Amino acid sequence: MDPYLEIGEIHRRVFHAGGPALLFEKVKGSPFAALSNLYGTKERTGYIFRHQLDNVQRLIQLKADPSDLLRHPGRYLKTPFTALTGLPLKSKWNKPILYGQTLLHQLPQIVSWPKDVGLISHPGSH
C-alpha cells in the first residue's frame, strides 16, 4: 500500500463511513505496518479509555483552570494519581530498552495531501 496519498484517502473514506480501524500490513518504503482510524468514533474512543476518560478530562480541566481546584476540591482527589500513572515506566535495570530500535525515516510516512507538512521525503514531492 502506498503511503503517498493512497493510505490517507482510504482512511478518510473509512472514517467518514464510521468504519473500523485499519491495519496496513505492507507499507511501501517501510518495514513497519501502519494502523489507522483506531479512534474513528466517539464510542470506540470511549471504550478504549473507559477506565481513565473521566480522570483525564478532570486533569485537562484543572490544567485549563487551576482555580477550579479551590471551588471543587473533592472533584480532583484522584487527579494527582492520574498524572503520575500517565508517566512512562522505568526499567528496573535503568537502561534504555533497545528492542525494535528504528530510525524516524523507517516509519511509514503517511502523506494525506500533496504538500503535507512534515513530509520527510518522497519521490515526486518536491
- 10: containing domain: 1-40
Mean pLDDT of 68-92: 80
Q: Is residue 53 part of a domain?
A: yes
| Residues 36 and 58 reside in one and the same domain | no
Name residue, grid cell 494519581.
81
In sequence order, what are the residues at sequence separation of 6 or more whose Cβ sits closer than 8 angstroms to the Cβ of residue 24?
1, 7, 33, 34, 35, 36, 108
| Beta bridge partner(s), residue 34 | 24
DSSP string, 75-99: GGTTHHHHHHHTSPP--TT-S---T
Global confidence as pTM: 0.63
| Residues 3 and 36 reside in one and the same domain | yes
Q: Is residue 94 part of a domain?
A: no
Q: Is residue 20 part of a domain?
A: yes
Q: Is residue 118 part of a domain?
A: no
- The answer to whether residues 48 and 56 touch, using CB atoms and an 8 Å cutoff, is no
Q: Is residue 101 part of a domain?
A: no
| Residues 57 and 31 reside in one and the same domain | no
Q: Is residue 123 part of a domain?
A: no
Per-residue pLDDT tens over the stretch 4-24: 999 999 999 999 999 999 999
